[in-house]
């Protein structure tokens, strides 16, 4: 069948501190409910607690030591109740211990496994909870309880399993008569209870070092071997994370660690491409021609601007070469292949984890119905085709009508995003004129950089402001749909949040990459917005530097903001709660009493986990993945920035989960849900966008066409930068400014502009030249060839890499066979013992 790591930590070092056991000092606290004495929902609360006791739960009340209005309800699930619901929930429990090599592939992420002592690997001696002793598991049934390995009733069900069982009961216990009046979620929503959470297993710090005195509890062990900043270079103890927080959170950190490890080669290649551009910056033929063009007069770039010399843009040309060089195409292809390899190998990694964590047979049908769904559609029932049991059913017409309203809301919010982008475009056009006529000479000389910089900053403020609105709208639309299960609710909410924030985050980037400067017109015939503002042009070096600035600023500041909101904000809130406790706010204790608070009081003063679960955590990383892949041809340093951020992100999230948040309800999951499909979609979109960035935004194709068709090496073949000699002159057209500008620069009345148009003295002035059509055809051909080539490579790699390792498939089949044999042998042994027992009794009773 399959295996699960069996913990021997449950029975050892069991915490005896106040706050983990009931008053009798024996019964473990499995869940905590919090309510206010001043709450008016007394009748509902009393009915709910009465029904909990009827379900077999043991309840004990305790007043808060920090607030006289707060009361805690401590819940303990006895052995019989645990067994009853473990059977109902089809929970797999250890059946027979065996000795074998663990299939856990924590070491699969090691890039330095050949070292005699890997500094990144956790020392096994530091993790006493991770044993090489595994066991076969089977769905728990009370009828075959004698088959299971029950060394101790106290440790047979882990703390996370006990909490999950109690949460299951809380979700289905009534607080009023009627089918719709049930569930702790509704009671939390109407103010009957303030909070509901499983308790942490004691403190996360100790006066004694862990190396000499050992870990006090799982939380202390997680802090010392995972959440401390001092071990940022160590791999994560995924089995321990899963045991404490549940499989769902464990899979998130496994995916985050895998993603971070895979970013290492991408970051190194991106850094190499950037350094290649840096070292060849001074030798670039295009940069040399721009910097030496002291006599080339360029046409004014705005209504208030004056003609200028091409050599003034020398710095822009050199900076553009950092990101637009010969390695750009190679890096774009590499990142497209990297995204495929990352996702395909993650499938294999996930298969290993689901095997180790006993999730192979955990199917979606075992996912529980949402109480809100049960309450809404309790009158309409159908027979579940899998379980054969009646369950609430949502009619198709009702589902479609709600879905249409939700889709309309999504399109409305996306249109709002596009409106905000249009407003930023208008701001850039207005700011362009203002900066160009600024009194301060420095600003006037660098008006393009000032326009781009202020536009990016304003756009970032709009992005972060609209994100707050999107979250509330997505929450309302998802609840309106009434998803059937928690997984469906989370997937629907996650998809809406991704669509909102992806469009919000990338719409301005798409504008700069593909629209900025494309419709500006030409000198003498410029296009104007509302017949008032002249459309913005690209720099003679191209629009790539604006795209790099947009991506760099948004990516950098968004990561800083997210890290502050994830850790800084909870730290401030918890500090404020401790400050109020020390001051005795609300009838609370003094500083001496605070140090000896029971665990439930300490947990109550921590911040709750996000109401949306892991959606915010995944969303942040998936949006970062999009930034890392979609426009990576324009910003090769994106993987490096992502890697540095993720190294911090892992420890930041770990510190937040262990020290700043209340313990979340341990939930199960077999994969990362809808996020995998979104990642695959981003990988496909990345190929298209990078093809267009290279073909349209960068100057790679025009340079390529010039070198092979118009340059000095046409007959010799393209060999080096010398073949681009004369490229800038070839890419600049001539415009006659008229007598008004004659002599204004002391040289000529003609100016140059970036385009492929005939000069004013030709028979067809300002018409597109043959070189323009050659460049256009080459761009279209490149897009088609690039996309087909990269898609072909991606598909071939995906075909070569199976989703599940061959060895794991054979192992699963082998263990399934052995499990059937063990069940048969165990049943025979049990029957033999019963027969002997009955025979002795019969012999004893015979006269």
Other beta carbons less than 10 A from residue 64's beta carbon? 23
The predicted-structure confidence for 380-398, as pLDDT tens digits, reads as follows 667 666 656 677 777 888 8
The proportion of the chain whose per-residue pLDDT surpasses 70, expressed as a percent, equals 80
In terms of phi and psi (left: phi > 0; alpha: psi -120 to 50; beta: otherwise), the region of 606 is beta
What percentage of the chain's residues is helix, strand, coil (to nearest 5)?
60, 10, 30
The predicted-structure confidence for 210-235, as pLDDT tens digits, reads as follows 776 777 888 888 998 898 888 888 88
The pLDDT value given to residue 536: 78
Average pLDDT of 689-713? 87
Average pLDDT, the chain: 80
The pLDDT value given to residue 639: 92
Q: Residue 299 has which token pair?
A: 């046409």
The pLDDT value given to residue 126: 55
The pLDDT value given to residue 252: 93
Residues near 146 by Cβ (< 8 Å), separated by ≥ 6?
826, 830
**DSSP line for 579-608:** HHHHTTGGG---HHHHTT--HHHHHHTSBP
In a 13 Å sphere around the CA of 702, the CA atoms on its Cβ side amount to 23
Residue 364 pLDDT grade (very low, low, confident, very high; cuts 50, 70, 90) = very low
Residue 109 pLDDT grade (very low, low, confident, very high; cuts 50, 70, 90) = very low
On whether the CB atoms of residues 310 and 752 are closer than 8 A, the answer is yes
Burial class (CB in 10 A: 0-12, 13-18, 19+), 379: exposed
Residue 839 pLDDT grade (very low, low, confident, very high; cuts 50, 70, 90) = low
Burial class (CB in 10 A: 0-12, 13-18, 19+), 143: exposed
The pLDDT value given to residue 65: 86
Highest mean pLDDT among 260-264, 323-327, 581-585: 260-264
Cα-Cα-Cα-Cα torsion 65, 66, 70, 73, nearest 10 degrees, comes to -50
Dist. CA 328–CA 600, nearest whole Å? 56
Residues near 438 by Cβ (< 8 Å), separated by ≥ 6?
444, 447
Dist. CA 232–CA 7, nearest whole Å? 26
Lowest mean pLDDT among 169-173, 176-180, 294-298: 176-180
Furthest C-alpha separation in the chain: 136
Dist. CA 475–CA 471, nearest whole Å? 6
Cα-Cα-Cα-Cα torsion 417, 335, 706, 291, nearest 10 degrees, comes to 80
Dist. CA 192–CA 187, nearest whole Å? 5
Dist. CA 570–CA 172, nearest whole Å? 31
Angle, vertex CA 628, rays to CA 625 and CA 631, nearest 5: 125
What size, in residues, is the chain? 847
In the predicted structure, residue 774 carries a pLDDT above the cut 90: yes
The predicted-structure confidence for 254-267, as pLDDT tens digits, reads as follows 999 999 999 999 99
Dist. CA 184–CA 54, nearest whole Å? 16
User: What stretch of H or E contains 698?
Assistant: none
The pLDDT value given to residue 590: 44
Average pLDDT of 11-31? 70
The pLDDT value given to residue 59: 94
Residue 8 pLDDT grade (very low, low, confident, very high; cuts 50, 70, 90) = very low
Residue 788 pLDDT grade (very low, low, confident, very high; cuts 50, 70, 90) = very high
Average pLDDT of 505-514? 84
The pLDDT value given to residue 71: 92
The reported pTM is 0.83
Question: Which of 246, 89, 161 lies closest to 668, judged by CA?
Answer: 246
In the predicted structure, residue 507 carries a pLDDT above the cut 90: no
Average pLDDT of 68-83? 92
The predicted-structure confidence for 448-492, as pLDDT tens digits, reads as follows 777 777 888 888 888 888 888 888 888 889 888 888 877 788 888
In the predicted structure, residue 520 carries a pLDDT above the cut 90: no
Average pLDDT of 264-290? 88
The pLDDT value given to residue 117: 52
Question: Which of 763, 818, 786 lies closest to 701, judged by CA?
Answer: 786
Helices marked H in 357-445 — which ranges?
A: 371-376, 396-436, 441-445
The pLDDT value given to residue 260: 93
Other beta carbons less than 10 A from residue 543's beta carbon? 27
Helices marked H in 590-740 — which ranges?
A: 591-594, 599-604, 615-629, 638-655, 675-692, 700-705, 727-731
CA 765 to chain centroid, in Å, comes to 54
Average pLDDT of 655-665? 90
Average pLDDT of 370-378? 72
On whether the CB atoms of residues 239 and 107 are closer than 8 A, the answer is no
Q: Is the pLDDT higher at 130 or at 811?
A: 811
The pLDDT value given to residue 822: 67
Highest mean pLDDT among 266-275, 574-583, 584-593, 729-738: 266-275
The pLDDT value given to residue 58: 93
How far CA 615 is from CA of 552, 620, 662, in Å, comes to 25, 9, 17
The predicted-structure confidence for 696-705, as pLDDT tens digits, reads as follows 888 889 988 9
The predicted-structure confidence for 144-166, as pLDDT tens digits, reads as follows 777 777 878 888 888 888 999 99
Residue 1 pLDDT grade (very low, low, confident, very high; cuts 50, 70, 90) = very low
Average pLDDT of 120-128? 57
In the predicted structure, residue 129 carries a pLDDT above the cut 50: no
The pLDDT value given to residue 363: 58
In the predicted structure, residue 98 carries a pLDDT above the cut 60: no
Lowest mean pLDDT among 505-519, 690-704, 767-781, 821-835: 821-835
The pLDDT value given to residue 77: 93
The pLDDT value given to residue 123: 57
Q: Is the pLDDT higher at 210 or at 204?
A: 204
The pLDDT value given to residue 709: 87
The pLDDT value given to residue 125: 54
In the predicted structure, residue 342 carries a pLDDT above the cut 80: yes
Highest mean pLDDT among 433-442, 625-634, 819-828: 625-634
Dist. CA 420–CA 463, nearest whole Å? 9
The pLDDT value given to residue 772: 92
Lowest mean pLDDT among 175-189, 287-301, 646-660: 175-189
The pLDDT value given to residue 121: 62
In the predicted structure, residue 375 carries a pLDDT above the cut 80: no
Residues 713, 718, 724, 729, CA torsion sign: positive
């Amino acid at each position: 069948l399959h295996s699960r790591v069996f913990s021997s930590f449950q029975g050892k070092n069991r915490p005896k501190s106040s706050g983990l056991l009931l008053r009798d000092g024996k019964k473990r606290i499995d869940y905590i409910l919090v309510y206010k004495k001043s709450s008016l929902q007394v009748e509902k609360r009393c009915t709910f607690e009465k029904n909990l006791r009827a379900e077999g739960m043991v309840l004990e009340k305790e007043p808060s030591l920090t607030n006289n209005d707060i009361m805690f309800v401590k819940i303990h699930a006895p052995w019989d109740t645990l067994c009853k619901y473990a059977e109902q929930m089809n929970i797999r429990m250890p059946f027979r211990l065996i000795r074998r090599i663990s299939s856990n592939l924590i070491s699969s992420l090691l890039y330095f496994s050949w070292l005699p002592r890997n500094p990144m690997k956790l020392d096994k001696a530091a993790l006493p909870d991770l044993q090489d002793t595994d066991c076969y598991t089977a769905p728990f049934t009370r009828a075959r309880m004698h088959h299971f390995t029950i060394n101790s009733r106290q440790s047979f069900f882990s703390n996370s399993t006990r909490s999950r069982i109690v949460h299951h009961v809380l979700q289905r216990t009534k607080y009023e008569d009627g089918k719709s009046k049930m569930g702790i979620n509704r009671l939390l929503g109407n103010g009957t209870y303030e909070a509901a959470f499983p308790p942490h297993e004691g403190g996360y710090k100790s006066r004694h070092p862990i190396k000499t005195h050992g870990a006090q509890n799982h939380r202390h062990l997680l802090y010392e071997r995972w959440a401390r900043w001092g071990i940022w270079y160590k791999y994560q103890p995924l089995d321990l994370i899963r045991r404490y927080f549940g499989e769902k959170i464990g899979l998130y950190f496994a995916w985050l660690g895998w993603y971070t490890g895979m970013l290492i080669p991408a970051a190194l290649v991106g850094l190499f491409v950037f350094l290649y551009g840096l070292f060849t910056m001074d030798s670039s033929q295009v940069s040399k021609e721009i910097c030496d063009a002291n006599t080339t007069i360029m046409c004014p770039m705005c209504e208030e601007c004056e003609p200028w010399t091409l050599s003034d843009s020398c710095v822009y040309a050199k900076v553009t070469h950092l990101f637009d060089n010969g390695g750009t195409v190679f890096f774009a292809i590499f990142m497209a292949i990297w995204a495929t390899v990352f996702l395909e190998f993650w499938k294999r990694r996930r298969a290993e984890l689901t095997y180790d964590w006993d999730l192979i047979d955990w199917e979606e049908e075992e996912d529980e119905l949402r109480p809100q769904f049960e309450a809404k559609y309790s009158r309409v029932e159908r027979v579940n085709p899998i379980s054969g049991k009646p369950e609430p059913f949502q009619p198709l017409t009702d589902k479609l009508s709600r879905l249409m309203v939700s889709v309309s809301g999504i399109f409305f919010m996306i249109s709002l995003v596009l409106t905000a982008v249009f407003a930023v475009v208008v701001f850039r056009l207005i700011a362009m004129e203002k900066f160009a006529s600024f009194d301060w000479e420095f600003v006037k000389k660098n008006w393009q950089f000032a326009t781009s910089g202020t536009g990016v900053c304003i756009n970032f403020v709009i992005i972060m402001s609209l994100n707050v609105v999107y979250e509330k709208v997505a929450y309302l639309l998802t609840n309106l749909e009434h998803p059937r299960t928690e997984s469906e609710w989370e997937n629907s909410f996650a998809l809406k949040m991704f669509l909102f924030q992806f469009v919000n985050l990338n719409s301005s980037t798409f504008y700069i990459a593909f629209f900025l400067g494309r419709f500006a017109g030409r000198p003498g015939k410029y296009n104007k917005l509302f017949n008032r503002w002249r459309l913005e042009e690209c720099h003679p070096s191209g629009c790539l530097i604006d795209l790099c600035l947009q991506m760099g600023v948004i990516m950098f500041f968004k990561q800083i903001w997210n890290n502050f909101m994830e850790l800084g904000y909870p730290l401030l809130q918890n500090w404020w709660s401790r400050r109020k406790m020390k001051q005795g706010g609300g009838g609370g204790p003094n500083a001496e009493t605070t140090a000896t608070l029971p665990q439930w009081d300490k947990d109550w003063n921590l911040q709750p986990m996000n109401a949306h679960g892991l959606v915010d955590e995944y969303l942040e990383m998936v949006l970062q993945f999009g930034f890392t892949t979609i426009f990576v041809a324009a910003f090769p340093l994106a993987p490096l920035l992502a890697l540095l951020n993720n190294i911090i992100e892992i420890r930041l999230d770990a510190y937040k989960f262990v020290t700043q948040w209340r313990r979340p309800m341990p939930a199960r999951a077999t994969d990362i849900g809808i996020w995998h499909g979104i990642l695959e979609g981003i990988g496909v979109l990345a190929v298209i966008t990078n093809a267009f960035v290279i073909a349209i935004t960068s100057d790679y194709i025009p340079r390529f066409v010039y070198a092979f068709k118009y340059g000095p090496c046409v007959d010799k073949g393209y060999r080096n930068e010398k073949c681009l000699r004369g490229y800038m002159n070839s890419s600049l057209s001539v415009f006659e400014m008229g007598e008004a500008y004659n002599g204004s620069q002391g040289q000529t009345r003609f100016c140059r502009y970036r385009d492929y148009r005939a000069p004013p003295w030709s028979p067809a002035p300002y018409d597109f030249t043959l070189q323009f059509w050659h460049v256009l055809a080459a761009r279209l051909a490149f897009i088609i060839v690039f996309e087909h080539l990269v898609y072909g490579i991606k598909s071939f790699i995906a075909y070569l890499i199976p989703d599940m390792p061959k060895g794991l498939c054979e192992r699963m089949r082998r263990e399934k066979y052995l499990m059937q044999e063990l069940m048969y042998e165990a049943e025979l042994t049990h029957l033999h013992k019963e027969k002997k027992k009955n025979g002795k009794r019969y012999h004893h009773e015979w006269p």
